[in-house]
Amino acid sequence: MIDYQYAGTATDGKPCQGSIRAPSVEAARLRLIGQGITPISLRGGDGEAAAQLAAANEEVRLKRADVLMFTRELSHLKSANMPLDRALAMLQEIANNDRLKAFVIRVTEGVRGGKSLYTSLQPFERDLGRRYLVMIRAGEASGGLTTVLKELTGQLEADDKLRNYIISSMTYPLILSGVAVLSVIILLAFVVPQFRQIFDSMGDALPFLTRLVLNVSDFVRGHWMLLLLLVTIVVFALSRWAASPAGRMQIDSGVLRLPLLGGVLRNLQFAIYFRTLGGLLQRGVPLVDALRIASDAVTNTALRKDLEPLVGIVKSGKRLSSGFVSAHFSQSSTAQLMRVAEETGDLDGTSLALADRYEEEGRRTMSRLLAAMEPLIIIVLGVIVAIIIVAILGGVLSINDTVGR
């Protein structure tokens, strides 16, 4: 046990100080909170107390993995009928990084101070998302927090799995494209110049293709700094433009019009939308609020703009199904299925079923896209390399013809 000197504020807001014995700074902090004292500083032990307390008091930014771990572990502990404050205390012990530990400490402070879990999590809405908080509030209000935590864990795992699938699917084509570009640059900058001295004596007698490849090679070698600067400027300008609302809207809209890829992104975004909508409706969240939160979960601004009017349609007293008239739904039976769901009172189940269908369609289209992209990249690279080789061989043959004469 270690003696810690503390300074803090009591429940009545008055400052207080004293000492407390605990095995660790976290344990000391929790004991003080249990006594109604919010610690401001802790001194003692191995000197890490102040550093750990400062880390807990800094602004905490969570990563997706942190949110998933917190939700999953809390769900397991609550499923074992463990009281919320004890479950949070145990989470502090198993937190695998200081960022998550500081977050759990903050939440524990709120819960032990008499706040609900929803209120304690509100300061972290930016990282948790509105959907997360609304479902926690619905779970606490209905007495089904354990069930909600299980559902949130499933949704977060599904979102994470979908995100990882997209990243892993696009990694190989991007690497292959990079290798293709690098291979062409190496050929033009280092291989072709080796033949320049041989071809110089031929002048205009060289074939057009040979002269073209030599000129491109000379330009790349002679202006590589300018080319690098231009590429940097273009990338910087595009990134700034893409960060603006107008630029983001145009890019998102343009991406949706791309063959195959547009369909993949559209389906995967709809999967997120309908999964969010169905999950919220299952927990008794009002339809208008559920639609608004589900729209916020869509990252493509063009799609979000088409989905946001659904809130106004429902508010005006019209059927939700009447709002699915966007061109994005023209080739699907979404509107018809939602109409049937309204008649049968199964909007939540139908939304979740639509989410599964859109995700399956997105994955299937992604597989077709990847099957077409990989050989296409190889073919393009092969054609460019073949052109360079033919140009060099054409020059060599021209020299042979000249010498033979």
Helix 287-297 vs helix 130-142: angle between axes, to the nearest 10 degrees? 150
Q: Give the H or E element holding residue 8.
A: strand 2-9
| Cβ–Cβ under 8 Å, residues 116 and 88 | no
DSSP summary character for residue 31 = H
Q: Which of 267, 298, 272, 276 is nearest to 363 (CA)?
A: 267
Cα(164)–Cα(77) distance, rounded to whole angstroms?
27
For residue 245 the two structure tokens come to: 């609302």
Question: What are φ and ψ of residue 24, in 5° steps?
Answer: -155, 170
Residue in this structure with the two tokens 């759990």, named with its chain if needed = 104
DSSP summary character for residue 258 = S
Q: What is the pLDDT along the chain (405 residues), one digit of tens a residue?
A: 678 888 877 756 677 888 888 777 767 776 776 676 767 677 765 555 554 555 444 566 888 899 999 999 999 999 988 899 889 988 888 888 878 888 888 888 888 888 899 999 988 888 898 888 988 988 888 888 999 999 899 888 988 888 888 888 888 888 888 888 888 888 888 888 888 777 776 665 778 888 888 888 888 888 888 988 999 999 999 999 988 988 889 998 898 888 878 888 888 889 989 988 998 898 888 899 899 988 888 888 989 888 888 999 999 989 888 888 777 776 678 888 999 999 898 999 999 999 999 989 988 888 888 888 888 888 888 888 888 888 888 877 777 666 555
| 15 burial type by CB count under 10 A (0-12 exposed, 13-18 middle, 19+ buried) | exposed
All structural domains of the chain, each given as residue ranges with its CATH number in brackets, are: 2-57 (no CATH), 64-128 (no CATH), 174-250+374-404 (no CATH), 261-367 (1.20.81.30)
Residue in this structure with the two tokens 């926690």, named with its chain if needed = 136
CA neighbours closer than 13 Å in the CB half-sphere of residue 70: 26
For residue 392 the two structure tokens come to: 């060099």
| 131 burial type by CB count under 10 A (0-12 exposed, 13-18 middle, 19+ buried) | buried
| Cβ–Cβ under 8 Å, residues 16 and 37 | yes
Dihedral angle computed from the Cα positions of residues 309, 314, 316 and 321, in that order, rounded to the nearest 10 degrees: 80
| Alpha carbon separation from 26 to 23, 39, 85, 109 (Å, rounded) | 8, 11, 14, 12
